[in-house]
Amino acid sequence: MAVYKVFPLQDSTLYSKYSLTNAGRDEILEVGSRNNPSLAGLPVITTTGLGSGDIRRTVISFDASDISTVLALTTGSFKTNLRLFLADANDLSTDYTLEFYALAQNWQVGTGKLGNVPTTSDGVSWVYTGQSGSSAIWNTTALSSSYLFTTGGGTWNAAYRATQSFNYISDKDINVDITNITAGWISSSIANYGVVVKLTGSIELNTQTYMNLKFYSMDTHTIYPPCLEFKWDDSILSTGSTTVGTVTSDNFILLPNNNLDKYKEGEVYNFKFKTREQYPTRQFTTSSVYLNWKYLPSQSYWAIQDYKTNEMVIDFDNSYTKISANSEGNYFKLYTAGLEPERSYKILVKSVIPSSSETVIVDNDIIFKVTR
Name residue 246's beta-bridge partners: 295
Please state, in angstroms and rounded to a whole number, the distance separating the CA atoms of residues 217 and 112.
Answer: 13
Which residue, 193, 172, 196, 176, is CA-closest to 184?
193
Report which of 143, 115, 116, 112 is spatially closest to residue 125, judged by C-alpha positions. 112
Angstrom distance (rounded) from CA 27 to CA 14: 14
- If we measure between CA atoms, which residue out of 295, 292, 332, 338 comes closest to residue 316? 332
**Residue 185 dihedral angles phi and psi, to the nearest 5°:** -65, -45
What residues contact 305, with CB distance under 8 A and at least 6 apart?
311, 312, 313, 345, 346, 347, 348
- 3-class SS string, the chain: CCEEEECCCEEEEEECCCCCCCCCCCCEEEEEEECCHHHHCCCCCCCCCCCCCCEEEEEEECCHHHHHHHHCCCCCCCEEEEEECEEEEECCCCCEEEEEEEECCCCCCCCCCCCCCCCCCCCCCCCECCCCCCCCECCCCCCCCCCCCCCCCCCEEEEEEEEEEECCCCCCCEEEECHHHHHHHHCCCCCCCCEEEEECHHHHCCCCCEEEEEEECCCCCCCCCCEEEEECCCCCECCCCCCCCECCCCCEEEEECCCCCEEECCCEEEEEEEEEECCCCCCCCCCCHHHCCEECCCCEEEEEEECCCCCEEECCCCCCCECEEECCEEEEEEEHHHCCCCEEEEEEEEEEECCCCEEEEEEEEEEEEEEC
Residue 297 CA, distance from chain mean position:
29
| Helix-helix angle 64-71:179-186, to 10 degrees | 100
Q: pLDDT in tens for each of the 372 residues of the chain?
A: 588 999 999 999 999 889 899 999 999 999 998 876 665 555 544 444 445 578 999 999 999 999 999 999 888 899 999 999 999 998 888 899 999 999 999 999 999 999 999 999 999 999 999 999 999 999 875 444 454 567 789 999 999 999 999 998 899 999 999 999 999 999 999 999 999 999 998 888 777 788 899 999 999 988 899 999 999 999 998 876 666 788 888 888 898 989 999 999 988 899 998 888 776 666 666 555 556 788 999 999 999 999 999 999 999 999 999 999 998 899 999 999 888 899 999 999 999 998 888 999 999 999 999 999
Whether 303 and 316 have beta carbons less than 8 Å apart is answered as yes
What is the pTM (predicted TM-score) of this model? Answer: 0.87
CA 44 to chain centre: 37
pLDDT of residue 210: 82
Quote the pLDDT of residue 143: 47
